[in-house]
Structure 1
Amino acid sequence: MEISYEDLKVLMGKSQNLLLVDVRTKGEVDKGYIPGSINIPVDTVEDALTMDPEEFKTKYGVNKPPPDAPELVFHCQMGGRGRVATLKAHKLGYVNASNYTGGYKEWSEKEGK
């Protein structure tokens, strides 16, 4: 499942349940990120999503999403790693997980960063 810039903006404006996960490296995130996103590098996504909810909250500062979370969105720089993370999430039962395909590159262009 994929989500566009426009749809993500709408979700960010109306949803209290959106969990936006930036799967880039910490070094990339330090250069800029989408407001409200949390950083879980792509190679740690499976570990994060199989964590105990308390451990997840301690590590990432937000509640672990339930498997049927309606608004779980992954993104990277340009879409590739976000797609990998989304597929991993689907395999773990996160049926509604989606990938913001434009990634931070499109976001920063559209937001004029």
Structure 2
Amino acid sequence: MATYEEVKDVPNQPDKYLFDVRNKSELEETGVLPASINIPLPELENALNLPDDAFTKTYGRPKPAIDAVMIFSCKAGGRAARASNMARTLGFTNAKAYAGSWTEWQEKEGAQ
């Protein structure tokens, strides 16, 4: 599992990936996590199976290497857990969920 502190440090870690698997309408309502790439959960498997150049063109960042640290976030952690399991099934060895996801992020950021 990824922690709030780890997610907060992602913008300083260019080798790590933060994927927000919420739907675009949810992001419009709440905002986005810094340095995150939005790939809604129903699109994730196809996205992770894209050829490298197509992934880069679609998401504006090189496709993660098979051993890259990949953190998945959603609203409360359920979809993030499913996303990290899916990524591991596809062979990505360092996929993990941010259990607190947007709910925890918003609480901790609002408290500062």
**TM-score, normalised relative to structure 1:** 0.91
| Equivalence for 1:4 | 3
| Equivalence for 2:46 | 47
The percent of aligned pairs where both chains have the same amino acid is 41
**Aligned Cα RMSD in Å?**
1.4
Structure 1 residues without counterparts, runs of 5 or longer: none
Question: Residue type matched to 1:63 in 2?
Answer: P
| Equivalence for 1:21 | 19
| Equivalence for 1:90 | 88
| Equivalence for 1:64 | 63
| SS class of match (2:81) | helix
Structure 2 residues without counterparts, runs of 5 or longer: none
| Equivalence for 1:38 | 37
Q: CA deviation at 1:96?
A: 0.6
Judged with a 3 Å threshold, the aligned counterparts in structure 2 of structure 1 residues 63 and 43 are, in CA distance, closer, same or farther, namely same
| Equivalence for 2:109 | 111
**TM-score, normalised relative to structure 2:** 0.92
Q: Distance in 1 between matches of 2:34 and 2:11?
A: 12
Deviations 1:43-91 (A, max 9, x none): 111100000011111111111001111x210010000000000000000
Judged with a 3 Å threshold, the aligned counterparts in structure 2 of structure 1 residues 35 and 93 are, in CA distance, closer, same or farther, namely same
| Equivalence for 1:100 | 98
Q: Distance in 2 between matches of 1:15 and 1:94?
A: 18
Question: Residue type matched to 1:30 in 2?
Answer: E
Q: CA deviation at 1:18?
A: 1.4
